[in-house]
Each structure stands twice: as structure tokens, then as C-alpha cells.
Chains A and B, each alone.
Chain A
């Protein structure tokens, strides 16, 4: 047992520092704490200092801490603060670049790279000729962070340096800037084992057949193919067909290429996985399909993986479906990728495999299989789908899939459903029957409307629009004791003719259930002759946000919204309603002061909607409000909209 004694004194110092009131008065204590023996105390001090407005004296003191040899903790803490201080730190750090101690010059170059200020580029270029190799490399790395044409030229200059570390530094800097040098300058570096991986990384950024061919050639040799893989990770997909064909030829000549690719596809390294996906897409070997789905990983590669997997075509889909338990074992990201491919590649020849997936015992894959079966367009998909109605989670997918198949196989789908409407009815059977059979579904719907299950009655009310005497069935639905059935009937109002809908709409608009009211509001603008405006105005003040929102939308669809109504709606406690007012009222100058005030609303989506309104309607005087709001805005999306609004208003000045 090697517990270290807990450092109670350090804990005390940490708590004391944590309790300091923020502000300039805390600076001396914080600066002192940068030299504390406890890393936690130093870290806390550095974070606090970085949040303050630094004086020149503090900056100078921080710089002086960098010179404390033997006190690595204090030096690192000071460097951390300086690199977060922005322009205020620049003069002192640039000055440090000329210090006699190479350690401090290296610190200066590192910090300048972190600061990312273009004003430091000239000094860093000079530091590339420093007498100390570490300083030269640090200066090169800093230039790769800052960028700009001068930095780029200086990094290109490093590619001819005698020191291989500097050459690598130049390559990595240019790769970071996505600024490849002229190809003749790059090619010699591909042959040097030290510079090869970085050179290939940069080569992949050159969108030219010659560059791709160099990378393809490197795939043929075990000694260079890992570096080439990195190069393909940098490519912007898709590669031209002839390059993909050359990749395939190169890989097929290597006996272990598939195993090598499979390992790269499932590695923890994002760059390797990306490169491997690019190559696997070109190789089009179905046996890699599962590994390609796995390559999605948790780090944002899913879309790329899905595109690569789709390129495998039907063979890839078959391989996925034949993977058995491996499919059940996929992560959420990999499932998203494999599912995307299976839906897009669903064809009649996959029906048996998809049916097996339906029955494999994995609920999520079963849902996917049901959706995919509907896209196969195959008659043989009808039977397995018809069996799914008894499964609550799958029935909805079976219903939609069968309706899709009925476009090609109307009689066959009808025949399959016929048996299901003879006995006890199920909601999705009723829906499917009505959509497939149309007017002839009347007797079943009438029976369903008297079913003891309210979900069956709801299905019948909603599906009534497919038969001839829909109004009677919808009316029956609107009079049901179950809100679920009344909501379904209200949803059907949108599909009735205006003449049929008008009396029913008036009835639905006075229902007690907010769900029914919201749906009736949504149907109202489709029947403008029904004279619902008065009731909709009342409902725009409804306490339920869904009702108020739907009423506002309906009124907006029926005609211009009066300012008084919008102002009243702004009093609604639901942020969705407030947001919607700003979305609907951009043509109302009277809303401008309210939008300006809403820039301080606690919800970002309301602030964003207000910013959007001000972008199109704001007066020059709105600019100050927008700039104030921008200064305190923490939400990323709202910031973007505020910035756009401020630019738009400034341009109108």
C-alpha cells in the first residue's frame, strides 16, 4: 500500500486561493501562487490570472518567472497564463525571443504560437535562424499555428533545411495550414524515412493525379504504406475513379492488404481510420463492410464512413447482413452508419437477409429491417412485414413499409392485409388497410370506430380521410370520449374539403383538450372560409404553449398579424411562443424595442430569434444593443446570429 499522505497544507492554500474575490486586488496573491509547490494551486492561480486584465507589470513578472530554472511548475504556470493573455502579452514575449537563455527563447516561441498573433510572424521567422535547435523548431511550430503568406513561405524554406527536425517541422506546419508546397519541393521528402509520414500527410492535400499516384505507389511497399495511409487521410473525398482503380490494383497485389486495412479501420487513431476508409472505399471489398461501419468511432467520422460503405454497393449490404452477431455488437455510431447503408442499398435480393434480421432479436435492427424491407420494392417483403403488426414497436414501420410496397403491389398487399382485418383489429392494420384499399375500407373503419380500444378508434378516425364519407367518421371521432381519438380526428381535419371541414373545425376549436385544440388550429388555415379568426385570436392567448403557438401560426397563415396581437403573445410564459412572435413579426416596427430587450432573454433561442428580427428590421440605433449583447453572449449559435445581425445593421447605417 503506497498511499501518499494527503497534503493538508496544500489543500488549505488551495481553498484560500479559491476564496479570493476576483479582481485586481487578487493579482499579487495569484502571481505568488504560480510558484506554489502544489500543481493544483498553481493551476488555479494560472486560470484566475488568465481571466483578469493584466498590467504591464504583471506581464513582466510572469515573463520573469519563465527564467526560474529548477522551478518547472512556476515556469509552466507562467507560460500558461501568458499564452492566454492575447495582445497584452505580445511585446514582452517578443522581447523574450531575444533573451540570451535558449530555454527562455523557446518558451517565447511556444507562447507566441499559442497566442496566434500575426504581429509576431517576422520575429518568429528571424528565430528560425536561432543558434539553438529547440528554438528553431519551436519557432517553426509557432509559424504553423499562426499562418499567413509570410509564415507559409518561411515554412517552405524549412523544407530545404539540413536539420531533418526542421524539415519535419516545416512539413507539419504547412500541413496544419493546409498549404502544400510546390510538388517538386515535396517529393524528395517522401523518400526520407524521417520526413516521410509528414510529407505524405501534406501530399494528401495536393489535389492532383501526380500526387495521388505517388501515394498509390507507396501503398505497394510495406515500408511506406502506413505513411501513404496518412496521406489518404488528408484527401478530400471522393477521389477520381481512375485513382480509386489504381488504389484497388495496388492493394490487391499485397496479400495481407485486407487484414492491414481492417486493423487500421478499427484502430483508435482517427487519422488512420480516415485514411483506411478512403482506401477501403476504393478497394470495394465487401468483407471490410463491418470494419468500415466500426471506423465511424465516437469522433465525428460517421458521415465519411457511411459514404465509403455505400460505395461498396450491394456486396457491402450483403456482408453487413451476413455478419450475424457482429452486427448486434456494433456501437451506436457504427449502427447509424451500417443502417444508413442498408436503407440506401435495400434491393429485392436482400429480402431474405432482411427478414432474418427482423427475427434476430435486436429491436433496433428489427426496426431498421422493417424500414428497409419497405424500400426493396419486392413482393416477397410483404409477408414478413404483415407478421409485424402484433409487435407494438415494429407495427408502425410495418404499416409504412407496406403502404410503400403497395405502390408496386397493390393487390398483393391488400390480400395480405385482408386476413388481418377479419378478426380483432389493430391500429396500424387499420391505417394500412385504409391507405391501401381507399374507399373500400369503409366497413372496416366503421367497425374500428366502435372498437373498445381507443388506439384502434383513433386510427380509424385519422384514416377516415381515405374513404368517401370521411366527414361522418371524423365527426364521430371528434365526439369520442377519449382525447386520443379526438386528436386523431382533429388531425384528419386538414385533409377534408373546406366545405366538410368548416362545421367540424368550429367544434374542434372549442374542445377541452389542448392537443385537440392545437391540431384544430393547424388545420384552420387550410380552410380559410371557415371564419375561425376570432377563435384563433382567443387561442393565441391560451396557457398551453402548443395551442398558443399553433394559433399564432394559423393566424399568420391567414393574413398579416396585428401588432397588438403579437405584443400580447409576447407576454406568454412559453419561450417557444415568444421566439415565434419574433419569427412572425419582422415586418412590425413596433416589435423592435421588444426584440432589443429580448437580447437579454434567459433563453438563447429567444435571443437568437430577436437577433434574426433585428438583422432584417433593426434600425441604426439597434446596433448598440446588438454589440452589448454580443459582448455578453456565451451561446455559440446565438453569437453567430448576433454577429450577423450587427453586420447587417451596420451595413444599413
Chain B
């Protein structure tokens, strides 16, 4: 793949979903897309770009290509300090505001293969103060393949690398070959949906959330896309609701609408409200 071919493809991906195909990922992109070129009988990446742009099957193929290139790797109980802050400091505030409805809605945006929404469900379902509440954890991603995996709810050692033995036995059923399946009790409040965060019309269908998790997703976007996505989060948060980002991400120069709230164990962004 020449530099110009990579740049042309990167442009398409970025416009479609905000994903930035960095130059240092050229080798990976070539290898991941090679079967597609073979399947389509195309001679090189220029022809592939032309196919994506001009062929009637281009939009479907673009979806396949993005699916192959956008990283889906994540794991259970990632960034435990932040999860502790969520339990100890964010949830009490959210619960206090939702006492009337006894309903809690959490969105895991860019959930990949589902580890994050299931982790959140595990934290919520067993929380005594939420007993009898209606819990709704939505995981969305733009990859159909990742969502299929997520709904399957079976995971291997890589996804479980930060899961402690007692968590493993409490939340999972063992399967052969070191794999584990999330127990039904923790699958129940989780639902999944296909969503490109840049698709404003589809995002408008989303309800208001008390908490939004979007960790290690914004890093794959360019600044303009990040701004759009952060605006979407603002719109979809209930007043007083919180946005939690990955530890290497922040809203600096992206949005001034959120309040920055320093917790003991983390920094979160809050939509102003009661």
C-alpha cells in the first residue's frame, strides 16, 4: 500500500466513522484487507479505493473494511480505579437523583465486544442500593462482528486478564479451553445496538442516560470528530449525568459545556443540572 493509497483509504474511513488510519498501521491494514482484495478480485489498494468510492457495493464493503481495522480489543474490569470511583462517588449521586423513578440508564459507547457493558452490569446488579431498580445498560458499536461476539457473551483469557479469581467465579460460568460465559443474571440488563457515533439521525433515537462510559474510543478519532461525539454525549446525558473517559483522554479543547468534577479517585465530566 503506497502512502497515497493509505491516505485515500484513511480519508474514507475518517469520513464514514471518524476512525483515523495512522501511517504506522499500514502493515496491519494491508494484511487485514488482503483477503478482501482477493475476494473481490482487485489488483491493488488503488482499485480497492475506487471500488469503495464508486462501486454499488462500496458502502457495504466500507463497513467490512472498517470492521476489520477498527480495534476491538478491550477487557473486563479495565481501569479499576475509575470503576471504583464510579461505584463509590458517581453512583450515590446518580441514585439520589433517580430515587423517584428507580431507573438507571448507562451507555457504553464504543463497547467493542461487550466487556465494558457486562462489567458495568456486574457492578450494578449486585449493588444493594439498586435492588429492585430498573437497570438498563446499553452497549453500542459500529462493528456488527464485534456486536455478534458481545451478544454471545463468551470470552477468552485475554478479555479476562484483569479479572480476579473471585470475580471470575461470581460473574462467569466456566467453558472448555479456558473460556468463560457471563452469567445470565449479569447479561439480563445489557442490550446492544449498532451505532456509528457520527450518525446524528441514529443517535437521536437514543434515550437520556444517567452515565455514559466512552473509554479509549476518542483516541481513534480526529479532533473535529471528537468534538462532534462529545457534543452528542452532552445531548444524550440527563442533567446532572456524568461522562467517563479513558485515563489518557480528556475534553480539553473539545467542549466547555461540561463541568469538570474532581473525584477522589478520578476526574469525570458532568452535564450541569440539579
Contact = CB atoms under 8 A, between A and B. Distances in A.
Interface of A: 1-4, 6, 11, 14-15, 18, 40, 43-44, 47, 296, 298-300, 302-303, 306, 324-326, 328-333, 335-337, 339-340, 363, 367-368, 371, 396-397, 400, 515, 544-546, 549, 576, 604-605, 608, 635-637
B89 A11 contact: no
B156 A2 contact: no
Q: Which of B22, B54, B93, B179 has most A Cβ within 10 Å? A: B54
A40 B226 CA distance: 18
A340 B54 contact: no
A544 B7 CA distance: 24
Interface in B42-95: 50, 53-56, 68-69, 71-73, 89, 92-93
Interface stretch (B26-34, B127-135, B166-174, B198-206): B26-34
B73 to A, nearest CB: 4
B112 to A, nearest CB: 11
Interface residues of B, number: 47
A300 B177 contact: no
Contact of B27 (A1, A4, A306, A400): A306
Nearest to A298: B71
Contacts, number: 116
Closest 4 CB pairs of A and B: A300-B24, A336-B31, A329-B156, A546-B54
Contacts of B7: 604-605, 635-637
A329 B72 CA distance: 11
Contacts of A608: 4
Interface stretch (B181-189, B230-238, B257-265): B257-265
Interface string B250-274: 0011001001111110000010100
B193 interface: no
Contact of A43 (B4, B92, B252, B270): B252
A546 B50 contact: yes
B122 to A, nearest CB: 20
Contacts of B272: 6
Q: Is the interface of A mostly helix, strand, loop or mixed?
A: helix
Nearest to A334: B73
Contacts of A4: 261-262
A303 B27 contact: yes
24 contacts: A3-B263, A6-B270, A11-B256, A43-B252, A47-B253, A302-B25, A302-B28, A325-B179, A328-B156, A329-B157, A331-B72, A331-B158, A335-B32, A337-B31, A340-B31, A367-B35, A371-B35, A397-B39, A545-B54, A546-B54, A546-B55, A576-B50, A605-B8, A605-B11
Contacts of B158: 329-331
A332 B156 contact: no
A302 B27 contact: yes
Nearest to B219: A298
Nearest to A44: B253
Given A1-B89, A397-B38, A637-B4, 12 more contacts: A1-B92, A1-B93, A6-B261, A302-B31, A306-B27, A306-B31, A329-B157, A330-B158, A397-B35, A544-B54, A545-B53, A637-B3
Contacts of B165: none
B159 to A, nearest CB: 7
A3 B179 contact: no
A303 B26 CA distance: 9
B181 to A, nearest CB: 13
Nearest to A10: B260
Nearest to B53: A576
A332 B93 contact: no
A332 B32 contact: yes
A2 B50 contact: no
B100 interface: no
Given A3-B261, A396-B38, A397-B39, A325 B178 contact: yes
B256 A18 contact: yes
Contacts of A371: 35, 38
Nearest to A14: B256
Interface in B143-159: 145, 156-159
B201 to A, nearest CB: 25
Contacts of A544: 54
